[in-house]
Structure 1
Amino acid sequence: MKFSGSICALATPFGADDALDLDAFGRLIEFQIAGGTAAVVVAGSTGEAHALDEAEYERLLTFAVSQVRGRIPVIAGTGGANTRKTVATTQRAKACGANAALVVTPYYVRPTQEGLVRHYEQVAELGGLPVILYNVPGRTACDMQPQTVAALAPDPRVVGIKEAVADAARMRDLIALRSDGFSVLSGDDSTALRSLLDGADGVISVANNVAPRLFHAMCDAAVRGNRAQAEAFGARLDALFDALGWESNPIPLKWALGELGLGTARVRLPLTSLSLPHREPLRELVRSLQDAAV
């Protein structure tokens, strides 16, 4: 299984009663597919996986698989701080019909690089799904080094990495590990274009939720080697990348999706709704992106 192109890390819509809003989630999925999105991630960090109980996780993932109907791959966020729990969550995701697992490095516990290798080997061996490694030390306090990725990349059950460190040299080291069975995916929207032009396979994106057609156009132009066109599309997305970082993800994203009619702005505690001074500027930005043709 080879992953490439524009992949969306889906938000999880909640209704006014704080329950899952599956109607909105279905509309968000269809918005992505219509925009050319190559795959979707369900219950990742953008999807507030930390705030879902086990029943909600299974319901959300099962719904996504049913809504997608095989048109694009469904990737389940399954990572945790404990190897046994991560294996169990990955097995649960397989039972729900997911096509692959996005497995974040164990957070808070700060494992060694050897511990990371052994963790991912167990998840790949016992979880039952192709594994995409996910490195985001800004959230986890755990930084998986390129040499650790190199040790895992030959495993046919490990099919890629989402790298969220915004460092060009780091990304080039990882791009050197690409193969027919191992994809290198950017996990940082603001530097994604640079990574694509350097040879990355694709992007797992937050901003893709809001502007899937434009984001797909940027990725497609970059992969085709049309730098000028890719940079032109990227320039139109820069303000969105900046705005979605005004507060912790997915706070601004949920507000933007509410403006698009794709759920409410509601997030679950300890996250809180977007601050008042940011709301009107984000509303105008979202409106301008939807009004502009690709």
Structure 2
Amino acid sequence: MSTNLHRIRMALTGISGILVAPYDDAGELAPDRLAPIIDRAIGAGVDILVANGNTGEFYALDEAESRLFTEKSVQLVDGRVPVFAGIGRGIREATRAAAHAKTAGADALMIHQTPDPFVAPRGYEDYVKRVVEAGDGLPAMLYLRNDAIGTEAIARLTAIEGVAGVKWATPNPMNLARAIAASSPDVIWVGGLAEVWAPPLCAVGARGFTSGLINVWPQRSVAIRDALNAMDYQQAGALIEGMRLFEDIRAEEMGGTNVTGVKTALALQGLDCGAVRPPGAWPLTGAQAAALYAFMQDNGLLA
């Protein structure tokens, strides 16, 4: 195993923090606004930062914006933690993005599971192979949002050279357990449904988890990580219960308030990252905003 692949796998056992895509007042991407958010997350102990994830409105960005997001994230992190670049959409754009991530200095790729309505498991396997090849040695984390492709197909995907881990983003822990059993023990499985789902996914073999909360309250995410690493599920559960309202707000409207909740919370901290682009919801409803304000106030998170 290469030194870099080993380093990335070790980092995946911690928190993969998904950065928001900040916009200026004109709605243009303004990645320099991430500087204080990145500094706070790294200072708290977050293990990985991801540009162009779904909390980063990946599908709302055009190709040039996605490239800029990767470039500026690498510059702002400045080698302090690994930076993963989100890769997806059509195969030509995905391979261009993977090659660009390598040039921009990203440490690894996060390959989105394509939302194409006509996806053959063997076709997706070819997609991943070509993206990893275009990344020219960058390790990859697969972002799996649909486990209906089956355990055998998932095992084949994890066997592709350069695949370091899988972000498991389905609420099916037993399917995760089957996938882990069928795959190489070197693959790191990451709970992809944030803090609330981390305990049940960790219980069957996931070792890290993803987080959008790190943009707003990274100390709480790190405390949950540490409790799970100590197998203190009671403490982890208590810590999660104390931030559950935040995730409940983000899950409303078919998940359409996911980024809205994060950006609204950041604005309450004086870290304005602009609105959410359609088709995400913007702004929060009055009831949602009031609940979020109370959550922030109760936890000492206001500016």
Give the TM-score taking structure 2 as reference length.
0.87
Question: Which one-letter code corresponds to 2:206 in the other structure?
Answer: A
Distance 2:182 2:298 in 1: 39
Distance 1:151 1:216 in 2: 32
1:1-294, aligned counterparts within 5 Å? Answer: 1-2=8-9, 3-80=12-89, 82-128=90-136, 129-137=138-146, 143-176=148-181, 181-189=186-194, 190-247=196-253, 248=256, 249-271=258-280, 272-290=282-300
Report SS of the residue matched to 2:243: helix
1:65-89 Cα offsets, whole Å, 9 max, x none, are: 1111111000011111x22221111
Q: Superposition RMSD on alpha carbons, in Å?
A: 2.1
Distance 1:173 1:192 in 2: 17
Distance 1:40 1:18 in 2: 23
Cα 1:269–1:227 change in 2 (3 A) is closer
Unaligned runs of 5+ in 1: none
Cα 1:63–1:172 change in 2 (3 A) is same
Distance 1:143 1:30 in 2: 38
Distance 2:221 2:182 in 1: 25
Distance 1:59 1:121 in 2: 25
Report SS of the residue matched to 1:58: helix
Cα 1:126–1:63 change in 2 (3 A) is closer
8 Å contact from structure 1 (residues 39, 73) kept in 2: yes
Deviation at 1:212, TM superposition (A): 1.1
Report SS of the residue matched to 1:134: strand
Aligned length: 287
Report SS of the residue matched to 1:232: helix
Cα 1:246–1:19 change in 2 (3 A) is same
Give the TM-score taking structure 1 as reference length.
0.90
1:100-139 Cα offsets, whole Å, 9 max, x none, are: 11111111333111111121122122332211111124xx
Report sequence identity in percent. 28
8 Å contact from structure 2 (residues 155, 183) kept in 1: no
